[in-house]
Structure 1
Amino acid sequence: MLVPEQINLYIAEHPEWQRKVLVRLRQLVHATCDNVQENWRNGVPSFDQDGMAVVSFATSKTSVSLCFPKGDQLKPGKLEFEPASGARCVRVAKFREKDKLPESAVKDLLKKALVCNSKANDEETKKKIHEPVELEAVLRKDPMAWANWESFSKETRVEYLEWVNDGRKVETRKHRIAKALELIREGITREEEPKRLRDA
């Protein structure tokens, strides 16, 4: 199933008031963010630019949320948001049934998120993180792992590369590469399995 169709189904499964909010937020994202790509991350719609998530949707029984992965670096302005539970950097703006959607404030925050992502992308480029030859060799020998690696976003791959490259000792790097292979083969990102990676 194509991602836009998956997002359409996601929206259709919600009550009418949430559907209206989700549809309008989706329109605002596309109207504000040039060349944004719709993606599906961790079971919810995500909107990416240059391989990095700008914003994603989430819902509860009483609210619709805009989630900003780098929200800790944003000033909320007229749109209030709060830290996401269990995610140190993420900030969430919640909208409830009787709330009037503050479209101007939403667009302003989306623009700030784009600027933040652009800076992060530039910093990553400057770091010139090189893919360890050992990791590439191991992944290429495993068709499933290599297919998942190729499908990962740039942001996800950088997280793995930084983790492997931070291993100063040869033994540490070998252990991390083996652990990375195990997770990548299962299609698991570092964000999805932080405990297993930290315990390595």
Structure 2
Amino acid sequence: MNPTEEIDSLIEKHPDWRGAKLAQMRAIIRGVDPAIVEEWKWMGAPVWELDGILVVGNIFKTKVKLGFMYGALIDDPDGLFNGELGGNQRRSVEFAEGDEVDEEAFATLVRAAIAYNRSKPRKTPARKTPARQTPAKQ
């Protein structure tokens, strides 16, 4: 299966509120920019990327978690981040059953993550230097 089909399957495997919440968040993420790519990584996590990883989704027994790879480095004007607050890089938005989401505020976080990814200096491939040649012994 391709990544989009894997994510579809994950949502279908959770016909309760968790699948519905992941589907809702997926629609918001994909609606921000048509260039966002869906991936399936780390043995079963939906990932959305654009110029790098933006958001990683996870379904747990009592919550749905949307982790922003560089959440600690982007503005959260509406205070949506409520998980992984102690780290210096990641932040997450976690939903329990019945939690509502401010869709525009969440889309603002996705746009900020895209802007952050685009502002990072591009990694240049390591220069491959040829092995030093030593003269053959005679």
Asked whether the two chains share a fold, i.e. TM above 0.5, the reply is: yes
Equivalent pair of 1:33/1:114 in contact (CA under 8 Å): no
RMSD: 2.1
Q: Tell me the amino acid that sits aligned with residue 49 of structure 1.
A: L
Equivalent pair of 2:55/2:67 in contact (CA under 8 Å): yes
Q: What does residue 122 of structure 2 align with?
A: 124
C-alpha displacement at 1:70, in angstroms?
A: 0.6
Q: What does residue 81 of structure 1 align with?
A: 82
Structure 1 residues without counterparts, runs of 5 or longer: 135-200
Deviations 1:88-147 (A, max 9, x none): 511111011111122121111111111111101xx125xxx233437xxxxxxxxxxxxx
Alpha-carbon distance between aligned partners in 1 of 2:67 and 2:76, rounded to the nearest angstrom: 12
Alpha-carbon distance between aligned partners in 1 of 2:38 and 2:85, rounded to the nearest angstrom: 22
Equivalent pair of 2:10/2:19 in contact (CA under 8 Å): no
Q: State the SS of the aligned residue for 1:133.
A: coil
Instruction: Tell me which of the two structures has the higher relative contact order, counting C-alpha pairs closer than 8 angstroms and 6 or more residues apart.
Output: 2
Structure 2 residues without counterparts, runs of 5 or longer: 130-138
Q: State the SS of the aligned residue for 1:57.
A: strand
Alpha-carbon distance between aligned partners in 2 of 1:22 and 1:65, rounded to the nearest angstrom: 9
Q: State the SS of the aligned residue for 2:64.
A: strand
Equivalent pair of 2:81/2:91 in contact (CA under 8 Å): no
Q: What does residue 176 of structure 1 align with?
A: none
Alpha-carbon distance between aligned partners in 2 of 1:130 and 1:47, rounded to the nearest angstrom: 24
Q: Which has the larger radius of gyration?
A: 2
Q: What does residue 39 of structure 1 align with?
A: 39
Q: Which runs of 4+ in 1 moved over 2 A?
A: 129-134
In the TM superposition, 1:42-191 aligns within 5 A as 42=42, 43-50=44-51, 52-78=52-78, 79-83=80-84, 88-120=88-120, 123-124=121-122, 129-133=124-128
TM-score (norm 2): 0.82
Q: State the SS of the aligned residue for 2:8.
A: helix
Query: Which structure has more helix as a fraction of its residues?
Result: 1
Give the percent of matched residue pairs that are identical in Structure 1 and Structure 2. 24
Q: State the SS of the aligned residue for 2:90.
A: strand
Q: State the SS of the aligned residue for 1:45.
A: strand
Equivalent pair of 1:64/1:96 in contact (CA under 8 Å): yes
Count matched residues.
128
Q: Tell me the amino acid that sits aligned with residue 73 of structure 1.
A: L
C-alpha displacement at 1:36, in angstroms?
A: 0.5
Q: What does residue 19 of structure 2 align with?
A: 19
Alpha-carbon distance between aligned partners in 2 of 1:80 and 1:46, rounded to the nearest angstrom: 18
C-alpha displacement at 1:15, in angstroms?
A: 4.2
